[in-house]
Structure 1
Amino acid sequence: MVAKSMGFARGVVFASIICLFLCGPVSLMLCERVDVPLPKWLTTEDSRYLSGGVEKVDLAGSLSVEGFLDGRLQRAIETTVGNFIPAKAEALLGNARLQRSAICLSERMFGWGVYPSYYGSSFLMVPDSQRLLSMPEKSNGEVFELCDRIATGIDDLANMHPEQRFFVYFAMDSPYLNDSPATRLVSDPLTYDQIEEVFKRDARRYTWVSGDLPYDEYNAGWYKTDHHWTVEGAYEAYCHISEAMGFAPVPIEAKDFQPYDGLLFYGTLARRGLVDEWPDAVMDTGAADKYVKSVFIDGEKADLPSLHDRATYLSGEWNQNRFANHYSELFHTDYALIEIEGNEPETNESLLIVSDSYTNCMEALFAARYKHVYIIDSRFCEESVSSFIDEHTDVADVLFLMREAEFLSEETEKALELSR
């Protein structure tokens, strides 16, 4: 009798657990759709940041015999349930922390100094500097062929437009940092100086502005949880570029860089590496804002906060989600075309920057010198660089400034009209 009662009790518990797993996602989905207040850790908010958003599902369109037979219905249900698992972010982060505790034991035994953020992760943790790094890439011929192709394309572009000056600044990123602690984990890693060698190999009409630097300087000028440079790191690069272009940079004193009190930033590397132990502080300066007269985004008039939303952050009204992308929310997201009109610039000349998100926090600095600063992002802009220069005869200087992921890409080839 006792055994039978215990069996019945186990059955009830098991059935309750199954119901919880089955009903939990449905209940969470309904609660979020009717705005029922729930603890943030229970909702999908954090998990959306960690996974890059909620995967769209056409559940109604799959609800048919054909959808069941070809598996679309089952996949749609599985994806829907996966999107609304309660406390999914806490489960992901907790599982990663548990795996790290085991990985750390091995790290202490062998003294690697760097280790994956979880088993199979391509994001690495450096405990001594409390920094995250991306796994280095392997050196290979295809990368160098692409480097040469893009270098030749920029050189050809410069020869097609002899009245403009061309500059190339290849921004540093952790996968190809020459002396990164992570390079020991990969045989024959791809490094910055290998890429630089290809771009400087032949006499080119563009000016190469080296972004090479040692790990210690990288550690000081880049976010520890994100692949972007900090405002201080970007300013150092701006000064280096300005000197190569032959003009004095806008002076910014060290005391002008101030943190936003209470703001903790977990960047792309933290989100994708499932790490929430080491937050970044966010430094900022408004020194360049006074040089901006007007802003246009994709041809439409915009205001200064669209470029640099300093007022919102000074008031403390930033996005409160712990995994919010404060780099893009503070300095604007990426657009096909941005035009900045300088306020009393040094010259009547204009600058064209072919960019990725690395320029977001430094674009206004160039408005101190140039009458117009045009910024095109080849990931979103359909127009070629050559065509843009033809249409904007005021452009005197052209600056290519990107990191490897965007620079060595099909989008850049398209912008240079190499993939026709």
Structure 2
Amino acid sequence: MMPRAIFLILLSAALFAGCSAEQFSEEEKRLIGQLRLSQLGPLPPDPSNAVADNPAAAAFGEALFFDTRLSGDGTVSCATCHLPDRQFQDDLALAQGVGVTDRRTMPLADVSHGQWFFWDGRKDSLWAQALGPLEDAREHAGNRTAFAHLVAAQYRQDYEGLFGPLPDLSALPEDASPLGTAQQQAAWATMDEDQRGEIDAIFANIGKVIAAFQRTVAHEETRFDRFAETLLAGHEPEGDAAFNSLEIEGLKLFIGKANCVDCHNGPRFTDDFFHNTGVPAVPGLPEDRGRAQAVDKVLADPFNCLGPYSDAKGEGCDELRFMVRDSHEFERAFKTPSLRGAASRPPYMHSGQIATLEDVIDQYSRAPEAPAGHSELRGVIFTDRGRAALIAFLKTLDGPLSVGGATR
């Protein structure tokens, strides 16, 4: 029998053996190359937001992002759920603002590379997405005229430097909104059409500057990226770029047998589309049909790309104009999240139904039937080592973020 000390030395040597390009086929290297952060490219323009890439707008948006006065009770800001030191999410199964929501907080890094926002894609721009929580009774629980009064009192110079003079708000109710409490809706009804339009324009512009700030939140290079760049250059990875045998095995599973790359593809490890993966419903929460219930919402949204507050003026709104509107595949289909940083932000899925990465792999291995609609999963059998290998690889996707070009 081999002495235990010698066995451990040999095991360690095998586990931390270096990687050579010959370990990967040309097809595997092609797939790995597509996942590198360097392939992400510049931010796509947002024609619906004229200040999307304006530094002054980003600075104004950052101030609003952290301002708890942008809520009904003065205790909730965007950063309440989108914590900068936790990848701009909150580690909770269900987001908590003024109350508790039905879904998990999504991280913000590089989200502006996508086309649809929220887990169900009910918003078609980052600025329209930013508006939703502000009036949601469980999140910020605020209202439109209150936001306008706050901007006029505290941020007039910032606002007018970007959008021109604010209208006279002195005759408007302190609290009014078409989506607020009964009293706020009644106050909104007392306002004439021009007044409502002025408030809606201010409200839209609040979303636009918050989006300008969010567009500056980006992923930084990870161990995987350093490994992939070295591998594709034909060199032997060194230092933290060197993968051990378990990480290599996990990468091979990810792009091969496990089929993860089918949906988690590209430099952000997401296809930005919607899939039913048989995720269980959460007892006690309302039925959640995912994308199936969101298509009508994005079409009816007055703040969408084709709406009166969009700077696109009907141009450059092809995603909205030509989106798939009726598909049985949308039933309980939710947006594919990015896997960058995912290893360190449990729980998982749209309502935090799955606690650990091990449980996620078991879900994909068992491929259970969906509570509604049709699951796309095709069960994969994993050994214990295979599970460990996938998790080891996913941990190589953890890395820092940058905000406004500065690493955090």
Which TM-score band (shorter chain)?
Answer: under 0.3
Q: TM-score, normalised by structure 1?
A: 0.24
Q: TM-score, normalised by structure 2?
A: 0.24
- Greater CA radius of gyration, 1 or 2? 1
- Which structure shows the bigger proportion of residues in strand conformation? 1
- Which structure shows the bigger proportion of residues in helix conformation? 1
